[in-house]
Structure 1
């Protein structure tokens, strides 16, 4: 029988170095947006400031049964900052959706009619809306892709365009993050 000490060493190293840590979701968006804990970062987070961000999401998953990882990034943003002492009241978040991601904002009923499955993103989008994320659909994508407002998850707003919404939010001090 051969003995290989390297894997044991690697396991011990991972355990004591923190590599084996697990990601954690919540406290703002439970079950989505899991993030890693960063112990003692060199670049400190200013927990007293307001974080105003607009996420621009144009790409959706190829599969009709897959959660859009870019939408999940919005939950990650909220959770990681809350886990590190920044209250929700200091997190001002907008999400602009266009392109192939636009279908991810459909209600289950509308998604079911088109793709014969429930929208895997509905619960995540509803959770984002419930904590105050402004979810905005590009009006041009809505028309181009045949996604009328009545087919969207309740609470989703339609703008003239993603470009227009981005400009307006940036003029209000929101910082863009393009996904």
Structure 2
């Protein structure tokens, strides 16, 4: 009987904390989040968030880069928490193996023959429309033979990822590195 009561208690506790990840308002197609009612660190809704994401690797070429989707999640969850989207300034800096993720659809399908298009393209467009800067390392682009004419229309080139990261941080951006 004690085991049965313990089992029901565990199930009740797990179900009471289960929440559904839901789309956000800034980029509804990407970056689902949950509300955390028991959060003890309050979100400063008056802060101007200046954030740079270091995107240095890719994953399955048939799927959206999980690190890029993190930026959409950041925008969505903070807007849901009461931060005005006008107070969120994001930049993504691509280098390393993530460099090929910035290719346009035709070039991406050549780089990854099992794909028909770049799965990151719609997310790049949505992020750019939300004011996010998308920056690729010129050094990594050269190393990976990524031609400036073959990248997503919203990608900007930097001399290097190191340069972009230093300059953005000097401008008050805070680094998020996963």
Q: Give the TM-score normalised by the residue count of structure 2.
A: 0.91
Residue-by-residue CA offset, 1:63-122 (whole Å, 9 max, x unaligned): 221221111111111111001000110001011000001111111111112212111111
Deviation of residue 49 (structure 1)? 1.0
Judge conservation of contact 2:124–2:154 (CA < 8 Å) in 1.
no
Residue-by-residue CA offset, 1:107-162 (whole Å, 9 max, x unaligned): 11111122121111111111111111000000001110011111111011000000
Q: What secondary structure sits across from 1:102 in the alignment? A: helix
Deviation of residue 175 (structure 1)? 0.8
Partner of 1:13: 13
Deviation of residue 11 (structure 1)? 3.2
Structure 1 runs not aligned, ≥5 long:
none
What number of residue pairs does the alignment pair up? 174
C-alpha separation between the residues in 2 aligned to 1:10 and 1:129?
44
Report 1:107-126 matches (<5 A): 107-116=104-113, 117=115, 118-126=117-125
Structure 2 runs not aligned, ≥5 long:
none
Partner of 1:49: 47
Partner of 2:95: 98
Report 1:12-161 matches (<5 A): 12-16=12-16, 19-61=17-59, 63-116=60-113, 117=115, 118-161=117-160
Following superposition, which runs of at least 4 residues in structure 1 exceed 3 angstroms of deviation?
3-11
Residue-by-residue CA offset, 1:38-81 (whole Å, 9 max, x unaligned): 104221111011010111110111x2212211111111111110
Deviation of residue 12 (structure 1)? 2.5
Q: Give the TM-score normalised by the residue count of structure 1.
A: 0.91
C-alpha RMSD over aligned residues = 1.6
